[in-house]
Structure 1
């Protein structure tokens, strides 16, 4: 037993199914829950891109605020600090005579380095540390193979897990959290301006108003599963582009741990008992297994997932044309299906799964741009950014990851015909083209010059490469 323990919240901003919080409540008389805003997560990275953009940062701040409220409802509170966690957490623990620091284990380089430094600094001060695995559906100890033997092909990974591994029960919310009485300075919630970011405009075209936090994550699940009864058609609708309910949108809350994958799994199983069991209910679990897969692949391969050659060590074949990249990033390629998806991302911080596959394929397969630039841009913009899923998926599309195919190429016109045959998605996000009827809206070479100018497309010699291929598709 410990007298006092610091619980460090990371990408696990919830009180349900939270291993460090649950076991700290069992093993310690008093808890000091802490969230640390690390300034390194708000720096500029390649191409002058914000590592954390304003949509993603806003969602994070909302999630931390909600965590504080939920801890207060249990009799506790949340200390909010800024700085390098490996330094300021140890100082906080020492100041308040905490005997240990409990936290969630991560898998990728930056996070692991922070963990290592934290453990070393804490040890020097006589403070113990305990890391808990809780980010995946299947616990790492329950995998039917060692992590370093994780199958390279998803289908094999899934089948072995489904056959030989069980999903552990979600941990209950602690009944009470005892905060030390001398905790007077709990810290203020930062504003976006603290990190040099502007408040994003609220988009009237957004498919859903995403608000960070466990409360809103659970509310979204209750709405999607139980109030609107949409889980039973998830497999049929998940490739949609417009509206709030073509998919669950759980990824936003999963990314920061506002929702536990095991909690979602248990709700799916309850839905199957009380409502309906079919391919759609299975498919949502299937997607959670995909999420696990990329996490364990990242743990297996380490820094290779961030290298240009990926885990396949492919040779450097990429262009680094910044002009082409920024036309892609800003939705100015002249290809409406690509531009509409990028406009949605930039305006809302979200994009459908179908859209992500298409814009990623276009960047790496048509423009031939360094795939890591796309991964970095998604990291900045996506409110549901998850380091393992993001980098794993970009490797996959770029042909340097786990895709058993040599080249996963998306024919943009065929994709547009399959998923936006009437052009409604284009009209929604590129209203200046709204008067063009039917599928013609997808064919910019058929548009009047006046519309092209309105659309601000960079044509001709300034941007020849993708448009030449585009002509071939028409």
Structure 2
């Protein structure tokens, strides 16, 4: 069975072979070595260029969430909106360079097949000779890449590093704790204080065109082109997806005083300026971590270098650690016992799980954080630690269900950081101290003493909530 959008392409002559870029967490033009590599291959070999984003690619091989506790029907509205904005901005940039984005979406009336099958049809019908991807720590996505390589052994595969500070693990083996990792990196690779900027890949000045039979095809063929996904309701959000908005936020942040006070404000539950907010753009690759690091270093040289600016670097190292953690442990990232030898004592309880998800637990601070997540797709780092601790300790639930709920809703979802952090808090990951529990009353008193956050996000479902002293 063929996708009707692709079926008509078989009836059109193909006079040139093609190079294909499969975008994933690299939705940008600047510092994108994958796009640069593909453009060079197409130009040097007189081939055309296919630029593709495929939703839920791993679903087509039965791999998505295979080792996870449960699945979800669709990602949350805020996360979908942020992704759609990011793809829209990418497509605008690609069109300015002479090409455009193809967007494969699964199981619709016009595209009844999963996106993996659609991609295979595209590879065959467009005579693809080379596929270019960015390295990813996403185990399921890598399984899909492996299937493609085995299915098309004649197609040359090119993998570039676009998501990390280091091209490979910067040591012989991954340390068991973040502290060991940080100390070794700072000893052997002091990127924060290096004399020269981290080298980035320049954006292409132009791109080879897409195949003629797509440009001149029917309306069905043109439906393969990216179209902005319109939600029933456009959610108000300070997070706007896309490389253009990422760079705008980067400039605004480092043109302010916020970097110099980051360490003292980063634990606030609900203020835009109190933390860097780079995570969403870093997660889908609309912002390069190397570009961010260079800008941080410029700030330290030109404005101030203090404990707060160092702490931004510190958080980037956490991101780096979890990336290599996921690359090292692969499917163990989703195992109930994680990388530990013993399983935790938590369990599945549908009623308590639904209370946590819906913000109806006996704990107002938890309810407020969960309501914030559901409405905005975002939660502060402090909030994530508090709700995860409650999930594991007070509610006694299987941590994987919490991790998957975050995967569904977080606009800054990153497989390595999300699952690695949940393992860390559940005591089955990279933490020599074992399971960590937060005192909810103490956390509430420290981070929401007036009850304003709980009141704003209806954590107690009353209009006159005032936090009483413990």
TM range (shorter): 0.7 to 0.9
Aligned equivalent of 2:292, options 264, 267, 271: 264
Q: Which runs of 5+ in 1 are unaligned?
A: 444-473
Structure 2 Cα separation of the partners of residues 409 and 215 of structure 1: 40
The structure-2 alpha-carbon separation of the partners of 1:151 and 1:199, relative to structure 1 and needing over 3 Å to count, comes to farther
Aligned equivalent of 2:39, options 15, 22, 25: 25
Q: Deviations over 1:247-293 (max 9, x none)?
A: 11111111111111111001111112222211221211211110111
Q: Which runs of 5+ in 2 are unaligned?
A: 1-15, 107-113, 192-197, 216-220
Within the alignment, does 1:76 sit opposite 2:99 as a pair?
Answer: yes
Structure 1 Cα separation of the partners of residues 325 and 118 of structure 2: 31
Within the alignment, does 1:11 sit opposite 2:25 as a pair?
Answer: yes
- The aligned residue for residue 131 of structure 2 is 101
| Per-residue deviation, 1:4 | 4.0
8 Å CA contact 2:344, 2:426 repeated in 1: no
- The aligned residue for residue 299 of structure 1 is 327
The structure-2 alpha-carbon separation of the partners of 1:374 and 1:215, relative to structure 1 and needing over 3 Å to count, comes to same
How do residues 336-355 of structure 1 correspond to structure 2 at under 5 angstroms?
Answer: 336-355=364-383
Structure 2 Cα separation of the partners of residues 406 and 330 of structure 1: 28
Within the alignment, does 1:153 sit opposite 2:171 as a pair?
Answer: no
- The aligned residue for residue 110 of structure 2 is none
How do residues 407-418 of structure 1 correspond to structure 2 at under 5 angstroms?
Answer: 407-418=435-446
Q: Deviations over 1:220-251 (max 9, x none)?
A: 1111111x332111111111112211111111
The structure-2 alpha-carbon separation of the partners of 1:48 and 1:88, relative to structure 1 and needing over 3 Å to count, comes to closer
How do residues 230-245 of structure 1 correspond to structure 2 at under 5 angstroms?
Answer: 230-245=258-273
- The aligned residue for residue 223 of structure 1 is 252
Q: Which range moved further: 97-106 or 74-83?
A: 74-83
Structure with more relative contact order (C-alpha pairs < 8 Å, separation 6 or more): 2
Q: Deviations over 1:363-399 (max 9, x none)?
A: 0011110000000110011111100101000000001
The structure-2 alpha-carbon separation of the partners of 1:192 and 1:327, relative to structure 1 and needing over 3 Å to count, comes to farther
| Per-residue deviation, 1:346 | 0.6
The structure-2 alpha-carbon separation of the partners of 1:41 and 1:291, relative to structure 1 and needing over 3 Å to count, comes to farther
The structure-2 alpha-carbon separation of the partners of 1:427 and 1:261, relative to structure 1 and needing over 3 Å to count, comes to same
Q: Deviations over 1:196-223 (max 9, x none)?
A: xx635635xxxx5222111111111111
- The aligned residue for residue 54 of structure 2 is 36
8 Å CA contact 1:39, 1:82 repeated in 2: no
Structure 2 Cα separation of the partners of residues 290 and 179 of structure 1: 40
Structure 2 Cα separation of the partners of residues 145 and 130 of structure 1: 24
| Per-residue deviation, 1:26 | 2.6
Structure 2 Cα separation of the partners of residues 99 and 377 of structure 1: 39
How do residues 345-384 of structure 1 correspond to structure 2 at under 5 angstroms?
Answer: 345-384=373-412
| Per-residue deviation, 1:94 | 3.4
8 Å CA contact 1:3, 1:28 repeated in 2: no
Q: Deviations over 1:286-332 (max 9, x none)?
A: 11110111111111112111111110032351221110111011100
Q: TM-score w.r.t. structure 2 length?
A: 0.84
| Per-residue deviation, 1:108 | 3.4
How do residues 241-320 of structure 1 correspond to structure 2 at under 5 angstroms?
Answer: 241-320=269-348
Aligned equivalent of 1:120, options 150, 156, 162: 150
Secondary structure of the corresponding residue to residue 327 of structure 1: helix
The structure-2 alpha-carbon separation of the partners of 1:362 and 1:201, relative to structure 1 and needing over 3 Å to count, comes to farther
8 Å CA contact 2:17, 2:126 repeated in 1: no
Secondary structure of the corresponding residue to residue 339 of structure 2: helix
- The aligned residue for residue 433 of structure 1 is 462
Secondary structure of the corresponding residue to residue 53 of structure 2: strand
- The aligned residue for residue 173 of structure 1 is 203
Secondary structure of the corresponding residue to residue 337 of structure 1: helix
Higher helix proportion: 1
- The aligned residue for residue 463 of structure 1 is none
Structure 2 Cα separation of the partners of residues 212 and 41 of structure 1: 24
Structure 2 Cα separation of the partners of residues 354 and 105 of structure 1: 30
8 Å CA contact 2:70, 2:404 repeated in 1: no
Within the alignment, does 1:202 sit opposite 2:235 as a pair?
Answer: yes
8 Å CA contact 1:61, 1:189 repeated in 2: no
8 Å CA contact 2:34, 2:134 repeated in 1: yes
